[in-house]
Amino acid sequence: MMKEQRPANSTDPLLVSGNLKIQAPKQLMDSTKLINHFSKHIKLTTDEIELINSLFSQRSLKKREFLLKSNQICRTESFIFSGCLRTYSIDENGFEHTLTFAVEDWWTGDLLSFLTEMPSFYNIVALENSEILQITKMNLDKLYVEVPKLERYFRLLIQNAYVTQQQRIIQNLSQTAEQRYLAFIEKYPAFLQRISQKHIASYLGITPVFLSMLRKKVSRW
């Protein structure tokens, strides 16, 4: 694979402060956030950081641009550097149902499609202009072999995501729409400023009209 030379005036702190011999990835990429995220859970050596940089590529998405459309195979897992993406399905009546919102420092992708290489059931669209760092299945498998401690990082990551999903399932089973809305704004206060009411309603499993009623009721408290 051809590698471009990283320009001398790069603002990548890894290059500037660490004086590391980094193999520049295909695109000029600031992987600091990703490396910091890994480093919350595992310690990486200079060589390992270099390898990670060589296996990820950066992509920009404009607002409303799709990262994935249903029936496509999800070929990459994506770490969100900046922006916000929504994963949703469309039912047989044309209604949209939101599975997840993902913002900076989160990962997104359709894990089932990524792992099985089968067509996805989901669409993933940028709700804002977004910058992501992507890795293919082949490169991630290579990374697990070369840097086995990344198993730990991804084990911890998916454990947290699993627990969050579990809370959502039990809330769906046991709580009223109002309770679920209050839990949502408590857990994700910043989402209210960034995500439309229509999309939040489709996450909570209610209509936008009903969400509007709930908001009015809650604001009167």
Pick between residue 19 and residue 148 the one whose CB is nearest to a copy of itself. Answer: 148
Pick between residue 4 and residue 117 the one whose CB is nearest to a copy of itself. Answer: 117
Binding to a copy of itself (CB under 8 A) within 148-177 occurs at 148-149, 151-152, 154-155, 158-159, 161-163, 165-170, 172-175
**CA dist., res. 43 & res. 58, Å (int):** 23
**CA dist., res. 154 & res. 52, Å (int):** 14
3-state class (DSSP) for residue 123: strand
Question: 3-state SS of the chain: helix, strand, coil percent to 5?
Answer: 45, 20, 35
Q: CB 156: neighbour CB atoms within 10 A?
A: 13
Judged by CB under 8 A, which stretch of 30-38, 47-55, 57-65, 144-152 contacts a copy of itself?
144-152
Write the single-letter amino acid at 80. Answer: I
Pick between residue 2 and residue 169 the one whose CB is nearest to a copy of itself. Answer: 169
CA angle 24, 152, 50 (to 5 degrees): 10
Tell whether residue 111 is a contact of a copy of itself (CB under 8 A).
yes
The contact set with a copy of itself (CB under 8 A) reads 89, 91, 95, 97-99, 111-112, 115, 121, 144, 148-149, 151-152, 154-155, 158-159, 161-163, 165-170, 172-175, 202, 205
